[in-house]
Amino acid sequence: MDAETPSLARAADKLVTLFDAPFGGKPKGRFRISNKLVRQILGRRRLYEDDIRQLTRALLERGYVLVDMDSFFVVLSANSFVNYRRANEECLR
């Protein structure tokens, strides 16, 4: 796997900082962010599939999940999913 570029690392760190910052009436936690702001954080005029994939990987390495919702992105803690119920073969029958 390629090493993170400095701009990508800064962008991922900025999103983690936002996750831990109080705004929107909440002390911290999941949030949505527009494509425009993600482009701004990355210093790009356009977002390409590879940009999103690299940012997703950088956030996963930090314990966060980036969800692409087409017109915006969602940032969640990977720990959010630990207590989800598990599907198994029996429930698929």
pLDDT, tens digit, 9 for 90 and up, residues 23-50: 999 999 999 999 999 999 999 999 999 9
**What phi-psi label fits residue 40: left (phi over 0), alpha (psi between -120 and 50 degrees) or beta?**
alpha
Mean pLDDT of 19-26: 95
> What is the CATH code for 6-81?
3.30.1370
On the question of pLDDT at 2 being above 80, the answer is no
Predicted TM-score (pTM) of the model is 0.87
Are the C-beta atoms of residues 11 and 58 closer than 8 Å to each other? yes
How high is the mean pLDDT of the chain? 93
Strands 64-68 and 31-34: unpaired
Give the lowest-confidence range in 1-5, 17-21, 27-31, 40-44: 1-5
The CA distance from 57 to 45, in Å, is 21
Contacts of 30 (CB under 8 A, 6+ apart): 19, 74, 75, 76, 77, 80
Q: Hey, where are the domains in the chain?
A: 6-81
